[in-house]
Amino acid sequence: MAVAERLVVERASKTFGGGELTVFADLDLAVRDQESVCVLGPSGCGKTTLLRAMHGLVGLDEGRIVVDGSVVLRPRSNVAMVFQHFGLMPWKSVTANVAYGLELAGVARQEIAERVTRYVELVGLKGFERSYPHTLSGGMQQRVGLARALAMEPDILLMDEPFGSLDAQTREILQDELLSILQITGVRGGRAPATMVFITHSIEEAIALGDRIVVLSARPARIRETISVDIPRPRTVASVIAHPRFVELRDRCWRLLRERTA
């Protein structure tokens, strides 16, 4: 079943301002089960809107998005999202923030407690369960955001430039941890790692995390090219950068991004 298509975008178009501003047009994209797809494009090209549409947070003007065979109309509980702005509730402790999605999904209390413990530990926040977000650094806040999404044990992870607002060093640490978390078998109750759609404007990040990279053109965004990242897993950011294919892949992405603005 590893080749089954999990999330399919079909001829999707989105405009704002009553059709004045076309964000993306005629997008087709299929994400296979257990595949990690990075959507690469410059800021403001509609990547985030596309991701929000994948979760049913915004509607499309044309086309449709299908997850597991049914059209996405509203957020579903087997899909979890991580936000660029972290989206933590300042009045909730780390524990309560991680438990948030599980509570809304109606998971039993005992199960919530177990999962919170497990995923807080997995993202390296053990000992900070009772801390509040404003006492944590940006990197640690996003660990909470990640734990909140992972705790849902989702089939699909939607990542909206989750490390975009972090400093370079913290970003690389979190990229590495995300890579290793997704490679740990047993994270999702013994099942294989999740399918992931990861929005980014960083070429290095896209190569490090993606099995495929979808490069978008300038607004109105269209798919410029889809690139397979033929660097084997398990990966780390360092091993990816050191891989002989890395420079070629980076140059190719770079050229695609440059051409578009020229």
Partner 1 sequence: MTVGEAQRAAGTRAGALAAARRRRLRLDLGDWGVRIGSVLFVLAVWEFVAPRFNPLIIRPPTHIFRAFGELIANGELQEALGQSLREFSGGLVIALTLGILLGIASGRYRFVYNAIDPLVSALYSVPSVALVPLIAVAFKFQGDAPRIATVALFAIFPILINTQQGVRNVDRGLLEVAKAFNTSERRLWTDVIIPSAVPFLLAGVRLAIGRALIGMIVSEFLVGLVGLGYLIIVYENVFRIDRMFVPVIVVATMGIVLMGLVQWIEGRVAPWTRREQ
Contact set with partner 1 (CB under 8 A): 52, 55, 57, 74-77, 81, 83, 85, 87, 89-92, 100-101, 103-105, 124, 126-128, 131-137, 139-140, 173, 177
Taking the complex as a whole, the smallest distance from the CB of residue 75 to partner 1 amounts, in Å, to 5
Residue 83 or 198: which CB sits closer to partner 1? 83
* Three-state secondary-structure class, residue 116: helix
Residue 56 or 63: which CB sits closer to partner 1? 56
174 φ/ψ sector (left φ>0, alpha ψ -120 to 50, else beta): alpha
What is the dihedral sign for C-alpha 146, 152, 122, 127? positive
Taking the complex as a whole, the smallest distance from the CB of residue 81 to partner 1 amounts, in Å, to 5
Contact 38, 249 (CB under 8 A): no
Taking the complex as a whole, the smallest distance from the CB of residue 220 to partner 1 amounts, in Å, to 23
Residue 101 or 193: which CB sits closer to partner 1? 101
Residue 71 or 89: which CB sits closer to partner 1? 89
Taking the complex as a whole, the smallest distance from the CB of residue 104 to partner 1 amounts, in Å, to 5
Q: Return all residues near 140 (Cβ < 8 A) that are at least 6 apart.
A: 125, 128
Measured CA to CA in angstroms, residue 235 lies from 160, 172, 229, 230 at distances of: 21, 13, 12, 11
Taking the complex as a whole, the smallest distance from the CB of residue 24 to partner 1 amounts, in Å, to 19
Contact 120, 151 (CB under 8 A): no
- Separation of alpha carbons 83 and 72, rounded Å: 19
Residue 97 or 217: which CB sits closer to partner 1? 97
